[in-house]
Amino acid sequence: MSLRNGQHYLAIPGPSVMPEAVLREMHRSAPNIYEGELVDLTDSLIPDLRKVARTQHHVAIYIANGHGVWEAALANVLSEGDTVLVPATGRFGHGWAEIARSLGVKTQMVDFGRQSPFDPAQLEQVLREDTEHKIKAVLATHVDTSSGVLNDMAALRAALDATGHPALLMADCIASLGCDRFEMDAWGVDVMVAASQKGLMTPPGVAFVFFNDKAAEVRRKMARVSAYWDWTKRAAPEYLYEYFTGTAPTHHLYGLRAAVDMLMDEGMENVWARHDLLARAIWVACDAWGQGGPLTLNVADPAHRSRAVTSLRIGLPYGPKLRTWTEQNAGVTLGIGLGMFEKDDPKGQGFFRIGHMGHLNPQMVMGALGAIDMAFKAEEIPHGSGALEAASAVIAAG
Ligand SMILES: *Cc1c(COP(=O)(O)O)cnc(C)c1O
């Protein structure tokens, strides 16, 4: 007998669950790309995307995944031979640095490991020592999706300001946008990258570079930017094709419009509050399981944890057993560990992640937690009791 039929829940940190409203909007025949509805719909997205990112400034849309906008953002403000400072708090920080190096940009890495946020005071010291201002930008991951670490962007801005360093502050919000509070303008972020398939609840395939006037000025002084990556026309198009330097991602735009409507209807404050409550329910459940077994939250301090993704260590052989059981018997797919290799676990299979981003409510969270609880019992993995009661109490308290 298999119990897995019924609605499947992909509880990984992207792609996230797509709302029915998004899927319905995408299910249509090809629209006119020269005039009419799609043109108006695309124009209408821009002010709302700004509201999601909490910025008054510019946004360029790319037909790309997160890696694509990693490159797009760098290509507009950095040239071969330039230096960037990269505070890494997990696999994704290193990933952005790898793209930078592939463009001939030198990366000055400060590695904060895989369990803690970056330390703004330490970064301030590094910036202070750069008296010649060789560092052109700081590439900072807001939420590192591998470790689940949440970093303090406002504190990093304060560190830059304290030293008077002119480097651009560039933020990777691919995991966090629409999940964890992010305030681009108030926090002084100059460039921010995001993608459709996480908090924005739309299939992978469109991604965004937000940038302010300071970054636009850096772009203007660049000797050369690829005509495809150039954000100038994309952020100020006359014709639909100029948004995308070519054919529009027609169906993604319809889906994205529906997803952004949902965010606007709910309100960003409420979106963040919902993610916060659901994340806290997951954490108390994990704490309870951990009381009587090997499960531990990767980030000890809740203040430094993302509300979009939780990274957990359970060790071998339990990690694969747990994930396989929930997928095959309960219709819940959990995320694998990413970049979390250890000496006795070279593939990091003792880690797993729960994605809790986007289109998510208490019954889904309790369902996923229930599936994990069942897997503990079915696979006889040592664990503490009371996890589901604790999670239920957190949500009930609101
Ligand atoms: C998902 C993610 C990426 C990479 O996005 P892809 O769409 O897989 O290229 C980069 N950074 C962060 C923080 C992410 O969560």
**pLDDT tens sequence across 12-24:** 999 999 999 999 9
Q: Could you tell me if the CB of 311 is within 6 A of ligand 1?
A: no
Buried b (16+ CB within 10 A) or exposed e, 45-71: beeebbebbbbebbbbbbbbbbbbbbb
pLDDT recorded at residue 133:
98
Q: Which amino acid belongs to residue 375?
A: A
Is pTM beyond 0.85? Reply is: yes
Atom of ligand 1 nearest to the CA of 173: 13
User: Quick one: average pLDDT of 191-204?
Assistant: 98
Please, are residues 148 and 299 in contact by the beta-carbon 8 Å criterion?
yes
Domain boundaries, the chain: 9-16+267-397, 31-265
Which residue of 16, 99, 145, 170 sits with most ligand 1 atoms within 8 Å of its CB, as the best mutation to test the pocket?
Answer: 145
DSSP 197: T
Coil/strand/helix, residue 336:
strand
Atom of ligand 1 nearest to the CA of 195: 7
pLDDT recorded at residue 2:
78
Q: Could you tell me if the CB of 188 is within 6 A of ligand 1?
A: no
Separation of CA 345 and ligand 1 centre (Å): 24
Name the band, by pLDDT with cuts 50, 70 and 90, for residue 69: very high
Separation of CA 342 and ligand 1 centre (Å): 22
Separation of CA 321 and ligand 1 centre (Å): 26
Q: What is the C-alpha separation between 86 and 263, in angstroms, rounded? A: 31
Nearest CA to ligand 1 atom 5: 66
DSSP 32: P
Number of helical (H) and strand (E) elements in the chain, helices listed first: 14, 14
Name the band, by pLDDT with cuts 50, 70 and 90, for residue 140: very high
Instruction: Compute the C-alpha angle 65/66/67, nearest 5°.
Output: 95
Separation of CA 334 and ligand 1 centre (Å): 17
Please, are residues 375 and 262 in contact by the beta-carbon 8 Å criterion?
no
- Among candidate residues 241, 329, 318, the one with its CA nearest the CA of residue 42: 241
Q: What is the C-alpha separation between 284 and 385, in angstroms, rounded? A: 11
pLDDT recorded at residue 107:
98
What are the φ/ψ torsions at residue 391 (nearest 5 degrees)? Answer: -65, -45
Tell whether the model's pLDDT for residue 360 goes beyond 90. yes
Q: Which amino acid belongs to residue 157?
A: R
Q: Could you tell me if the CB of 195 is within 6 A of ligand 1?
A: yes
Tell whether the model's pLDDT for residue 294 goes beyond 90. yes
C-alpha pair distances (Å), 113 with each of 91, 155, 340: 10, 19, 10
Nearest CA to ligand 1 atom 12: 174
User: Quick one: average pLDDT of 156-171?
Assistant: 98
Which residue of 74, 150, 174, 310 sits with most ligand 1 atoms within 8 Å of its CB, as the best mutation to test the pocket?
Answer: 174
pLDDT recorded at residue 4:
80
Q: What is the C-alpha separation between 366 and 360, in angstroms, rounded? A: 11
Tokens 């510019």 -> residue: 58
Coil/strand/helix, residue 342:
strand
Task: Give the tokens for residue 242.
Answer: 């100029």
Atom of ligand 1 nearest to the CA of 67: 9
C-alpha pair distances (Å), 92 with each of 32, 95, 111, 229, 349: 38, 5, 12, 21, 18
Q: What is the dihedral of CA 385, 387, 390, 393, to 10 degrees?
A: -120
CB within 8 Å of 208: residues ≥ 6 apart: 49, 53, 59, 60, 61, 62, 69, 193, 194, 195
Instruction: Compute the C-alpha angle 86/231/204, nearest 5°.
Output: 75
In sign, the C-alpha dihedral spanning 180, 181, 184, 188 is negative
Matching CATH number, 9-16+267-397, of 3.90.1150.10, 3.40.50.1110, 2.70.98.30, 3.40.50.2300: 3.90.1150.10
Nearest CA to ligand 1 atom 4: 66
Separation of CA 381 and ligand 1 centre (Å): 31
Separation of CA 67 and ligand 1 centre (Å): 6
Q: Which amino acid belongs to residue 266?
A: E
Query: What percent of the chain clears pLDDT 70, i.e. is strictly above it?
Result: 100
Q: What is the C-alpha separation between 90 and 148, in angstroms, rounded? A: 8
Q: What is the C-alpha separation between 193 and 71, in angstroms, rounded? A: 10
pLDDT, the chain, mean:
97
Name the band, by pLDDT with cuts 50, 70 and 90, for residue 259: very high
pLDDT recorded at residue 247:
98
pLDDT digits (tens, 9 = 90+) for 22-66: 999 999 999 999 999 999 999 999 999 999 999 999 999 999 999
**Cα-to-chain-centroid distance, residue 208:** 12
Separation of CA 193 and ligand 1 centre (Å): 10
Q: Could you tell me if the CB of 249 is within 6 A of ligand 1?
A: no
24 is in an annotated binding site: no
The H-or-E segment that residue 238 falls in is none
Q: What is the C-alpha separation between 225 and 52, in angstroms, rounded? A: 28
Q: Could you tell me if the CB of 90 is within 6 A of ligand 1?
A: no
DSSP 303: G
Tell whether the model's pLDDT for residue 3 goes beyond 90. no
Q: Could you tell me if the CB of 202 is within 6 A of ligand 1?
A: no
CATH class, 31-265 region: alpha beta
Name the band, by pLDDT with cuts 50, 70 and 90, for residue 74: very high
Separation of CA 347 and ligand 1 centre (Å): 20
